[in-house]
Structure 1
Amino acid sequence: MTSARLAVDIGGTFTDFALDIGGRTFSRKVLTTAAEPEKGVLAGIGVILADATLEPADLGLIIHGTTLATNAIIERKGARTALLVTRGFRDSIEMAYEHRFEQYDIFMDKPAPLVPRKLRLAVPERIDASGRIIEPLDEQTLAGLVPVLRAERVTSVALGYLHSYVNPAHELRSRDILRELAPDIAVTMSSEVCPEMREYERWSTACANAYVQPVMDRYLKLLEDTLAGRGFSCPIYLITSAGGLTTVEIARRFPIRLVESGPAGGAILASHIAQQRGHDHIVSFDMGGTTAKICLIDDGQPHFSRSFEVAREYRFLKGSGIPIRVPVIEMVEIGAGGGSIAAVDNLARIQVGPASAGSEPGPACYGRGGRDCTVTDANLLLGRLQPDRFAGGKMRLDPEAASAAAVRSIGEALNLDVTGAALGVSEVVEENMANAARVHAVERGRVLSNRVMIAFGGAAPIHAARLAEKLDIATVIVPAGAGVGSAFGFLLAPIAYEVVRTRFGRLDATLDVAALNALRTGMRSEAEAVVRLGAPTAELTEGWTANMRYRGQGHEVTVRIPPGEMDASSAAELERLFVADYEQQFGRCIPNLDTEVLSWSLRLATVGDPIVPCPATPAQHLVEPAAHVEVVDPGSGRFEAVALYNRGDLAPGATIAGPALIVEDETTTMVTRRFSARIDALGSIVLTRT
């Protein structure tokens, strides 16, 4: 076994591979095999090992990220799931927040729960908010529900009892009874997957975990067994939505923590690059085949959240999806990728996404039966993609199929020629991404113009310069291996685990610091037990946050607080930190209001290798292009001759004036007229506004 480490990232269109052998790297992309994703994974592993002349036994570690859990929820292809809930509360999961996320649309439909009403079964039991048992668990009634589960062909059960986050005794006993009477049915406890107050979010998270758990359990077991059968003896880790590594065992129990695993890898890569170069304020831009992700990074670290929504159905509007409360790197994700489908709506407007052509059939230019015009088709028609250079020449694109799709989807409806239709698609998708970035920044009290953009993913470098122009960003970094950036981010991820507990307290003299110190110690022990499964002797670092609010408010601000023991001065320090964060996000504080804490979170992670600063860039030197190609200028809408460079031919210090194209196997970087490009000491393309 060598030091070789392999990262695998399953996306909606491509599955990405990144291999590191003591600093020597290899990368590959293969089309995702949606029906049987393990086939694409195994095929890609075979190809990249052949590139590096390695055998299966030579690998020391495999890190895996996947969209399977997300896709199962979006496509409603999870397990047949039941929810056992406290009597009288079976409809809470459907009542949700009891408000309309789009109040002016009389035809608005709320997202259907993952568990239909007939499979939400009431159980007599009751625990109050302090953890006191008011009504004992009716074990006879619970046992009587097992034949109902059998008759309904249920394969997974979520347990959602009121206030179980304080006292999980009834959920624990229910789990034991179900395991005894129906050992083949998977059981998820809401008190284990999301031990926090607010039953709707807790039960929604438990239902989502139960819904995808059999799917992910089968997939991970099949992948493990198949790899072992082919001679792979190295450990396998999964990347979580919070950017940490976890064991296959934990991933099989809590697959909901993997929902945003791919985008998390990209945020880790951007954070690493920011620290290498000493940039304090970053916006990462990750655009793949299906979605675009935008993440703000400050002081070398992304922002973390405890909640997000998956499967938004109503124009990606907040509230139209399924709420999930698990640790996650905070970012905005929209349906804008290379495979996003373009069409004309009833108001004669070009709309791009959220639907995607994926890998099957894929964009029209792939020649796999796709007929819809996509962003990739538009980029090909604009000259930004070269038909004989896509994927290193291994996959020739079909301009005629792309042209026919653009005319059929856009041109005929708007009386546009092929170039006008393609340019319209490109401009719309870029403005969609720019608007998403603006809203994301404003909601968090941040600005974008003082940030450096880091662009990666198969499609991001094509659009990064134009997006930077729209956002008034002066510098864009396209790292080496940008086309599989998230996979390279996996290789930088620590082994980590996060624990959260609800514990109410006011920031005054009544704050029980002794109880909080005991709580923190217990949370650390729980997290360490998980982390040590993969890192028995590694040095660990601790992150400690609190969800705080002004008394009377309905939502909280997550505040980073110093780890370690609390004392009599802690209440004042916590309030100071809260006020600073509150002012940052909302522009003001509220005087004369008490502050309170609802929950506490502890993240334990292994300490990585020290980050080596990027060396100074060598002296500038001009390089000759490999060719000249015709590319549409977005300003004039006309074709013009543009220099084309092969990225592999560019040494550090090479300087290129825009407009130009820089081509590599997994992506293409477009340097617009307003930017110049320079290769830095680490091989990254640094675009600077001129």
Structure 2
Amino acid sequence: MARRARLAVDIGGTFTDIALELADGALVTAKTLTTPAAPEDGVVAGAHEALAKAGLAPGEIGVVIHGTTLATNALIEKRGAKVALLVTEGHRDSLEMAYENRFEQYDVNIDRPPPLVPRWLRLPIRERMNAKGEALIPLDESSVSGVIPTIEKEGVESLAIGFLHSYANSAHENRAAEIIARALPRLSISLSSDVAPEIREYERQTTTVANAYVRPLMERYLRALLSALRERGFACPFLLVTSGGGLCTAETAARHPVRLVESGPAGGAVLAASLARRMNIAELLSFDMGGTTAKMCLIDGFEPSTARVFEVDRSYRFKKGSGLPIRIPVIELVEIGAGGGSIAQVDALKRVNVGPQSAGADPGPACYGRGGKRFTVTDADLMAGRILPERFAGGTIAPAIDAAAASCERDVARPLGVDAEEAAFAVGETVDENMAAAARAHAVEHGKD
């Protein structure tokens, strides 16, 4: 059977990138702005641009492979669904108790990242399993029914259920889900026994909550993307890159979107490992900077580092324990909110801060000329000469340098009392040091210098 062309799509917070591998191995690429309100539009536009360059029709594509940072960006920027969590009675505060230790021993003012579910939406249910999966307290179905009015009143979009020891016996979680689904059939429900059926209560709950947090967003997106591709003649298989570097179907991804949290970056790490083998470099650090985040991965022995647990959005000097733990097989990366669209601002102490908030693709950085007013890393790089105007976004966008300079003057230069050029360099140095610090922390954790 003749080899067919393959289409790869990567959606970031700012740009959507397309790579079309032809049957003879030649590569055709395209780049479009991500369309946040309807990300599938950017994919379809980029796919048709690549196909037009190659002179191919959608029906000639053998497979579409998709990586995305939509789930990651939603977690980092806190743009997910409103979530409620059903927990075993007496375990309402597990999300805040976390590991019961401090990731920084000597800072008395340490702040932990707030949980994705506020306390008033962590709803205790009377039930109890032991570690052998034996019911110590039967499920009180009336207590499950009793939380339904709260879920409705609070406008909850997605529900997580994380009962104690459900990995050993999921009967109580399954029954609670049935009761809730019967009353609220449109509600998205994630079970810890399905998402992360392993010991360690805290990590199981954070993983399930993260799944619930991004599930409505990813379900809508995947449904719309598949529909748009089919309508335009793409009848081939559609697969997504998982956090572990493997592939899964759209149906699996919609049910377990937390497996896509490092989807796009995992593909980059796999490529870095492949290049390491070609160049015979056993150890290297891969770097992937997008529009919203920057990712680093240690390649050791020609293979990317892997783990069973990783942390999203480390908030305290990139220290282990300061992020949101996700318990899934993953290519281990360190990720921070520092991308081209990351917003720069000056705090009350006259310090330059960059990210994690991002200008995204709409309106985007000020230099895009699409109405964006906030000064970003891309604006700073353009002003500092790191980005050539004629090569900006592959030549698809004519940058509005005056708009970038105006936003720099207002947001950074004037508060610091310096000129715009110096302010742009300050932003560049700040984000560079943030990324370098994250890379150093990642290498040291793996015992590498």
Fold match by TM threshold 0.5: yes
Alignment of 1:215-234 (within 5 A): 215-234=217-236
The DSSP-based 3-state class of the residue aligned with 1:267 is: helix
| 1:70 shift after superposition | 2.5
1:14-36 superposed Cα distances (whole Å, 9 cap, x missing partner): 11111111211111111111122
Q: Which residue of 2 aligns with 1:169?
A: 171
| 1:171 shift after superposition | 2.1
- The alignment's C-alpha RMSD in Å is 2.6
Equivalent-residue separation in structure 2 for 1:365 and 1:77 (angstroms): 24
1:58 and 1:157, CA in 2 relative to 1: closer, same or farther beyond 3 A? same
Equivalent-residue separation in structure 2 for 1:314 and 1:352 (angstroms): 14
1:232 and 1:99, CA in 2 relative to 1: closer, same or farther beyond 3 A? same
Deviates more, 1:299-308 or 1:261-270: 299-308
Q: Which residue of 1 aligns with 2:11?
A: 10
Q: 1:286 aligns with which of 282, 288, 309?
A: 288
The DSSP-based 3-state class of the residue aligned with 2:389 is: coil
Work out which of the two has the higher radius of gyration on C-alpha atoms and give 1 or 2: 1
Q: 1:258 aligns with which of 260, 264, 271?
A: 260
Aligned residues: 447
Equivalent-residue separation in structure 2 for 1:355 and 1:148 (angstroms): 31
Alignment of 1:599-618 (within 5 A): none
The DSSP-based 3-state class of the residue aligned with 1:197 is: coil
Q: 1:186 aligns with which of 180, 185, 188?
A: 188
1:153 and 1:339, CA in 2 relative to 1: closer, same or farther beyond 3 A? closer
1:213 and 1:404, CA in 2 relative to 1: closer, same or farther beyond 3 A? closer
1:382 and 1:88, CA in 2 relative to 1: closer, same or farther beyond 3 A? closer
Deviates more, 1:375-384 or 1:322-331: 375-384
Q: 1:272 aligns with which of 271, 274, 295?
A: 274
Residue type of the alignment partner of 2:7: L
The DSSP-based 3-state class of the residue aligned with 2:338 is: coil
| 1:51 shift after superposition | 1.6
Matched, 1:398 2:407: no
- Contact 1:94 1:113 survives alignment (8 Å): yes
Residue type of the alignment partner of 1:35: A
| 1:73 shift after superposition | 3.1
Q: Which residue of 2 aligns with 1:378?
A: 380
Equivalent-residue separation in structure 1 for 2:148 and 2:430 (angstroms): 53
- Contact 2:38 2:221 survives alignment (8 Å): no
| 1:189 shift after superposition | 1.5
Q: Which residue of 2 aligns with 1:79?
A: 81
- Contact 2:11 2:17 survives alignment (8 Å): yes
Q: Which residue of 1 aligns with 2:391?
A: 389
| 1:147 shift after superposition | 4.9
Alignment of 1:88-237 (within 5 A): 88-99=90-101, 101=103, 109-237=111-239
| 1:65 shift after superposition | 1.7
The DSSP-based 3-state class of the residue aligned with 1:372 is: coil
Equivalent-residue separation in structure 1 for 2:146 and 2:374 (angstroms): 52
1:133-175 superposed Cα distances (whole Å, 9 cap, x missing partner): 2222233443454455444444432221111122223223333
1:147 and 1:446, CA in 2 relative to 1: closer, same or farther beyond 3 A? same
| 1:385 shift after superposition | 2.2
Equivalent-residue separation in structure 2 for 1:10 and 1:261 (angstroms): 10
Q: What TM-score results when the alignment is normalised by the length of structure 1?
A: 0.60
1:649-683 superposed Cα distances (whole Å, 9 cap, x missing partner): xxxxxxxxxxxxxxxxxxxxxxxxxxxxxxxxxxx
- Contact 2:312 2:335 survives alignment (8 Å): no
The DSSP-based 3-state class of the residue aligned with 1:388 is: helix
- Contact 2:5 2:61 survives alignment (8 Å): yes
Q: Which residue of 2 aligns with 1:519?
A: none
Alignment of 1:488-567 (within 5 A): none
1:270-328 superposed Cα distances (whole Å, 9 cap, x missing partner): 01111122221121111122222111101111111122233455565554443221122
The DSSP-based 3-state class of the residue aligned with 2:380 is: helix
Q: Which residue of 2 aligns with 1:56?
A: 58
Higher fraction of helix: 2
Equivalent-residue separation in structure 2 for 1:81 and 1:280 (angstroms): 43
Q: Which residue of 1 aligns with 2:410?
A: 408
Higher fraction of strand: 1
1:323-349 superposed Cα distances (whole Å, 9 cap, x missing partner): 221122112112332223333444444
Equivalent-residue separation in structure 1 for 2:302 and 2:39 (angstroms): 34
The DSSP-based 3-state class of the residue aligned with 1:389 is: helix
- Contact 1:387 1:398 survives alignment (8 Å): no
The DSSP-based 3-state class of the residue aligned with 1:272 is: helix
Q: 1:307 aligns with which of 297, 306, 309?
A: 309
1:113 and 1:53, CA in 2 relative to 1: closer, same or farther beyond 3 A? same
1:144 and 1:384, CA in 2 relative to 1: closer, same or farther beyond 3 A? closer
Equivalent-residue separation in structure 2 for 1:84 and 1:212 (angstroms): 17
Q: Which residue of 1 aligns with 2:68?
A: 66
- Contact 2:72 2:262 survives alignment (8 Å): yes
| 1:196 shift after superposition | 1.7
| 1:56 shift after superposition | 1.5
1:470-509 superposed Cα distances (whole Å, 9 cap, x missing partner): xxxxxxxxxxxxxxxxxxxxxxxxxxxxxxxxxxxxxxxx
- Contact 1:5 1:19 survives alignment (8 Å): yes
Q: Which residue of 2 aligns with 1:423?
A: 425
Residue type of the alignment partner of 1:224: L
- Contact 2:318 2:441 survives alignment (8 Å): no
Q: Which residue of 2 aligns with 1:20?
A: 21
1:553-591 superposed Cα distances (whole Å, 9 cap, x missing partner): xxxxxxxxxxxxxxxxxxxxxxxxxxxxxxxxxxxxxxx
Deviates more, 1:406-415 or 1:276-285: 406-415
Q: Which residue of 2 aligns with 1:358?
A: 360
Residue type of the alignment partner of 2:391: R
Equivalent-residue separation in structure 1 for 2:34 and 2:180 (angstroms): 37
- Contact 1:82 1:149 survives alignment (8 Å): yes
Equivalent-residue separation in structure 1 for 2:146 and 2:385 (angstroms): 66
| 1:398 shift after superposition | 2.6
Alignment of 1:436-515 (within 5 A): 436-447=438-449
Q: Which residue of 2 aligns with 1:511?
A: none
Deviates more, 1:202-211 or 1:172-181: 172-181
| 1:104 shift after superposition | 6.4
1:434 and 1:95, CA in 2 relative to 1: closer, same or farther beyond 3 A? closer
Equivalent-residue separation in structure 1 for 2:151 and 2:351 (angstroms): 48
Query: Structure 2: 5+ residue runs without aligned partners?
Result: none
Equivalent-residue separation in structure 1 for 2:219 and 2:77 (angstroms): 18
Equivalent-residue separation in structure 2 for 1:111 and 1:416 (angstroms): 33
The DSSP-based 3-state class of the residue aligned with 1:268 is: helix
1:18 and 1:342, CA in 2 relative to 1: closer, same or farther beyond 3 A? same
Equivalent-residue separation in structure 2 for 1:396 and 1:390 (angstroms): 7
1:262 and 1:114, CA in 2 relative to 1: closer, same or farther beyond 3 A? same
Equivalent-residue separation in structure 2 for 1:348 and 1:162 (angstroms): 47
The DSSP-based 3-state class of the residue aligned with 1:45 is: helix
Equivalent-residue separation in structure 2 for 1:412 and 1:140 (angstroms): 60
Equivalent-residue separation in structure 2 for 1:417 and 1:143 (angstroms): 62
| 1:75 shift after superposition | 4.2
Residue type of the alignment partner of 1:355: Q
- Contact 1:2 1:59 survives alignment (8 Å): no
Equivalent-residue separation in structure 1 for 2:29 and 2:347 (angstroms): 39
